[in-house]
Amino acid sequence: MPKKIILIAATALALAAVGGCAQMPRPSMAAAPMAGAPSTATATAATAAVTAAAERLRLAMIDPTPAALGALVADDLSYGHSGGRVDTKTSFIADLMDGKSDFVTLVISDQTVRVTGDVAVVRHTLTADTNDAGKPGKVAIKVLGVWQRQADGAWRLLARQAVRPPV
């Protein structure tokens, strides 16, 4: 009998504790910013800088020059195509310069930019008319780009991966 009373008492205490926890107010995570978190103004400025760099890259891919492209991509670029090929900075620029990759038009839509410290994740839909190696074509892909604020303060594309959306 004493074991039964102890078990009932323990169960009652456990239920009371669980019920009490559910009713306790939880502290708001939004009440105070995390230590070291950037201000809203800083985050907005970084987002605007990444958005501007992405637009300069879009324009440079339509009308490429080695200087413009080189200034917008990181030296250790990993540029993944929807078909699985991966370019380096050197091969990415070379393909655009020699016409292996040739964008006649290039439209970006549904773009989102999320900045965390010195890294930004950019997602968008890319549609384009191409003339790769003299062969007209159309492209419709989803793209994930990773931009990094470099030591000189410039945002450069560090990595990119494209996928064909499901049909």
> What are 79's strand-pairing partners?
87, 160
For the chain, domain boundaries: 40-163
Per-position DSSP letters for 48-91, written without gaps between them: HHHHHHHHHHHHHHHS--HHHHHHHEEEEEEEE-TTS-EE-HHH
Q: With CA atoms as reference, report the closest residue to 151 among 121, 122, 118.
A: 118
Q: Quick one: pLDDT at residue 40?
A: 80
pTM of the model: 0.76
> What are 106's strand-pairing partners?
128
Q: How confident is the model at residue 37 (pLDDT cuts 50, 70, 90)?
A: low
- How confident is the model over 49-83, as pLDDT tens digits? 999 999 999 999 999 999 999 999 999 999 999 99
Please say whether the structural domain 40-163 has been given the CATH code 3.10.450.50.
Answer: yes
